[in-house]
Amino acid sequence: MLDKETEYIKLLEIFIQVVEVNRGKPIGSEEWILDAEGLALKFCAHVASAIYLSQGTSIPKMSFGHINFFDSASINVVSRAAFETFLIFHHIFIQPTSIEERDFRYISWVLSGLIERQNFPILSQKGKKQIENEKEIIDSCIDRLKTNQHFEALSYKQKRAIIEKGNWRFSSWSDLSVEAGLDVTHGTSFYKYLCGYAHSSNLSALQIRDAHSGHIQRELSASAMSLIMISMANMIKAYCDLFPQSASVLKRDQDSNALVNIWIGVGSSSVKDAEIDWDNILV
C-alpha cells in the first residue's frame, strides 16, 4: 500500500496527464474550453504548492541566519482555494444536464468577473481602455443570458443580482460540495476550518501560536491535505467526464484509475466511516 505522500504525488501526476493530453487541440467555437483549462491550471498550481509547502519552508540569507519552519497556515489557505476551484469547475461544466444550462452558468460566471473589474480603481490608460472595451462584452453576455431559458426562469430579483452585481451562483459552498458528490462534512466543518485561516480567525491565530512542535504544526494541515487529495480525485474524474481524450488516458492505466476511485470513495463517505488516519496524513 502506498503512503499518503506518494498517493498525493501520484494523483497530481494523473491530473497533469489528463490535462496535458488536450494541449494543442483545436477548440473551434467552444470558448468555454479555454476557461475550463484555466481553472484546471489554477487548481494544479494550488495542489502543487501545497505539497511543496508540506516539505517545510526555508528562507536563507537573512541577516541573522536561516529561517526554517512549517507553514501550515498557507497550506490551509491554498487548500481552500483548490477546493473552491474544483467546486466551481463541477458547478459550471459537470453538473449541468444540458448545453443551455451549462451556458447559463458559464456566462453568469464570466459576467461576474467582468463586472468586478469594472469597479477596480484603474489608473493606467491601457487599463482604462480595457475597461471601456469590456463594456461591450458585458452587454453581449447580458444579451445572451436574456435568451437563455434558465435565466428566464429566475425571479426578477435573481436576474438583477446577476446582471447588476455579478452574482453567478445562488448555492452556498456547502451546497456545491454536496452537489459534487462529497460528504456534507467536507463542505461544512472542513471548509469552515479552512475559511478561518483565510480570514485570520482567532482560532487560526490561537492554533498557530500554540503549535510548539513540528508534529503539532503538521497536524494543523492534515485534514487540508486530505481534502486536496479528495478534490484531486474528483477533479480528475470531472476533467475526464468533460474531455474524452482525458478519459481514455485514465482508462488505460488501471492502477491510476483505482487510486482515483479510492479517493472519490473517501470523499463521498462519512468521515467517521472512512478507513483513513486523518490526523497523520503527510505527518
Q: What is the band of 259 on the pLDDT scale with cuts at 50, 70, 90?
A: very high
Q: For residue 220, report the phi and psi dihedrals to the nearest 5 degrees.
A: -65, -20
Residue 168 has pLDDT above 90, yes or no: yes
pLDDT at 277 over 60: no
Calculate the average pLDDT of the chain: 90
Distance from C-alpha of 4 to C-alpha of 11, rounded to nearest angstrom: 10
pLDDT of 281 higher than 60: no
Would you place residue 79 in the very low, low, confident or very high pLDDT band (cuts 50, 70, 90)? Answer: very high
pLDDT digits (tens, 9 = 90+) for 100-127: 999 999 999 999 999 999 988 888 888 8
Contact 25, 74 (CB under 8 A): no
Q: Which residues contact 107 (CB under 8 A, 6 or more apart)?
A: 141, 144, 145, 148
- For the chain, what's the residue count? 283
Each domain of the chain, given as residue ranges in start order, spans 1-80+213-283
Spatial neighbors of 170 by CB under 8 A, at least 6 apart, are 158
Q: Which residues pair with 69 in a beta bridge?
A: 57
With cut-offs at 50, 70 and 90, classify the pLDDT of residue 275. very low
Distance of CA 44 to CAs 9, 92, 217, 270, 283, Å? 12, 18, 24, 26, 22
pLDDT of residue 62: 81
SS3 143: helix
What is the secondary structure of 211-259 as a DSSP string? --SHHHHHHTTHHHHHHHHHHHHHHHHHHHHH-HHHHHHHHH-HHHHHH
The answer on pLDDT for 278 being more than 70 is no
Q: Distance from CA of residue 170 to its chain's centroid?
A: 18
Query: What pTM was computed for the model?
Result: 0.90
pLDDT of residue 153: 96
Q: Residue 222 — very low, low, confident or very high, per pLDDT cuts 50/70/90? A: confident
| Cell numbers at 231, concatenated | 478534490
140: number of CA atoms within 13 Å, CB side? 7
pLDDT at 282: 41
Distance of CA 226 to the CA centre of its chain: 14
If pLDDT is split at 50, 70 and 90, which confidence band does 272 have? low
Which of the given ranges, 88-92, 271-275, 278-282, has the highest pLDDT on average? Answer: 88-92
pLDDT digits (tens, 9 = 90+) for 171-204: 999 999 999 999 998 888 889 989 999 999 998 9
Residue 120 confidence (pLDDT): 85
Buried/exposed code over 70-103 (b: 16+ C-beta within 10 A; e: otherwise):
bbbbebbbbbbbbbbbbbbbbbbbbbbeeeeebb
Residue 29's pLDDT band (cuts 50, 70, 90) = low
Work out the average pLDDT over 221-248.
94
Contacts of 41 by beta carbon, 8 Å cutoff, 6+ apart? 19
Residue 40 in contact with residue 260, Cβ under 8 Å?
no
Q: Check pLDDT > 60 for residue 276.
A: no
Tell me: pLDDT of 19 over 80. yes
Model confidence band, residue 271 (pLDDT cutoffs 50, 70, 90): low
pLDDT tens for each residue of 37-57: 999 999 999 999 999 999 998
**Confidence band of 27 (pLDDT split at 50, 70, 90):** low
Mean pLDDT, rounded, for 66-95: 94
